[in-house]
A and B are shown apart, each in its own frame.
Chain A
């Protein structure tokens, strides 16, 4: 039972990070109808920038803030310099370009930082506090939950309650009509990319200390998990991404705890396949979306 509680908490903590990462994928999907396969590599690039800043200044928090800012800027840059110029007539085009971007970013990171693992610092202790003799949450888990909670509710507030959120949604749903209503659709798209990439960078900063550390390929498997989370949630649904992230996190934790960590990549792919076969629209696919 203790083990179950531990695995559940660990799974939720990891799942919260996947949720944020999946949310970043959903943001870009909703805004641009592109699955950003470069999200993982972009987030790692931002984490490397944070590593440089933290090493130079000795301040974790400065690096943390810089990572998010670097993520925002990188997202805007990728949109303006690369994705804006890709012909979206075939949905495959942006996918291929994104995959090319992954190779480019990973090669550049390898050239600049080398391919050995760099330590990723955690700002709080990762050893679990015990409640009544049962190991439950570490201070770092609490930090992860709080941060993701703030990000998710912040995004929900932004989209549901602010004028810029309304513009972003309108631009995503009906770009032509939105322009007629005075919305700068191109600007909203760039903002969407920036936000998504910033959230991705934050997720990388949160998950890297729980893994082997910083490496150009550090988010490869994490990306697959987050992508699965987004697909479980239906790609179009921000709440779906959050639930999908938690589901994937729990699944990985149980599989790794009860069946061995070698099986976790397989378990993710099985889940991805199962969802695509049984409910390709995801568990949260909006039923009325195609009604006219």
Chain B
């Protein structure tokens, strides 16, 4: 491993019950870059994120975050190691207010003062949330939920952000804004992002690295620009 690789995955296998979904996944995400995992439905993209954050227990392989082996780390400890996972469907807690959802993202932190500063920064970053502090999660629009889910992850000041289908159910304009924001966060704060997307075009547009999954394996990991430009490859795996 080189000093600059934040996430290193070696030979990762995982599945639900007896059915294996992921087979021998190798993956490296350098610090301060965005990696986009793309591939057809059922390729194992969401399962990959769930295995990384410990929501399902890998059956084989190794996950290193900043050189630290995450094996056996309980899910609730991962946020303390610097990993934030925004799950499928965003995981906004509808019964809590915007403010409560956001504060929850920083409750685990010992540095209360900085948790407060992070909260203020998120409110500055997402103005609409600041206007809706007291609203319940279920009163928000899709775009606002997206902001809330992202903001809640950012309150924990993660090193690595795992994002599952941020474009799902959002208008193209909102997707574009989200992707631009990710790039901005990468450039300004050095955030590392591992993004799972159906929307290959917008994912590869923002990513540094593209990872193509098929049937539970990584079939290609290459600079995103190369994937964008290679017509044969796009036809074979990505369908456009």
Which residues of A from 137 to 190 have beta carbons under 8 Å from B? 163, 166-167, 169-170, 173-174, 176-185
Are A292 and B94 touching (Cβ within 8 A)? yes
Query: Is B134 an interface residue when CB atoms closer than 8 A count as contact?
Result: no
Task: Tell me the complex Cα distance, A174–B78, Å.
Answer: 17
What residue of chain A has the Cβ atom nearest to residue B162's Cβ? Answer: A180
Task: Tell me the residues in window 66-93 of chain B with beta carbons closer than 8 Å to chain A beta carbons.
Answer: 74-80, 84-85, 87, 91, 93
Asked if B96 contacts A170 (CB within 8 A), the reply is yes
Q: How large is the interface on B (under 10, 10 to 19, 20 to 34, 35 or more residues)?
A: 20 to 34
Closest CB of chain A to B130's CB: distance in Å? Answer: 19
Q: Are B107 and A181 in contact (CB under 8 A)?
A: yes
List residues of chain B with CB within 8 A of the CB of A291: 94, 138
Determine whether the beta carbon of A163 is less than 8 Å from that of B91: no
Contact-residue size bin, chain A (C-beta under 8 Å from the other chain): 20 to 34
A292 CA to B94 CA, complexed, in Å: 8
Q: Mark A70-106, 1 if CB is under 8 A from B, else 0.
A: 0000000000000000000000000000000000000
Q: Are A181 and B152 in contact (CB under 8 A)?
A: yes
Tell me if A179 and B91 are in contact (CB < 8 A): no
The CA-CA distance from A177 to B104 in the complex, in Å, is 10
B53 at the interface (CB under 8 A from A): yes
Cβ B93 vs Cβ A177 within 8 A: yes
Instruction: Name the A residues within 8 Å of B87 (CB-CB).
Output: 176-177, 180
Given contacts A180-B75, A288-B138, contact A167 B107 (CB under 8 A): yes
Residues of chain B lying within 8 A (CB to CB) of residue A180:
53, 55, 75-76, 78-79, 84-85, 87, 91
Does residue B108 face the partner (Cβ distance < 8 Å to A)?
yes
B100 interfacial contact with A, CB 8 Å:
yes
Tell me whether B95 and A169 are in contact (CB under 8 A).
yes
User: Per-residue CB proximity of B108-134 to A under 8 Å, as 1/0?
Assistant: 100000000000000000000000000
Interfacial chain B residues near A166, Cβ < 8 Å: 96, 100, 103-104, 107
**Extra 12 A-B pairs, beta carbons < 8 Å, given A179-B55, A180-B79, A182-B108:** A167-B107, A170-B93, A174-B91, A174-B93, A177-B87, A180-B53, A180-B75, A180-B84, A182-B77, A183-B76, A185-B76, A288-B138
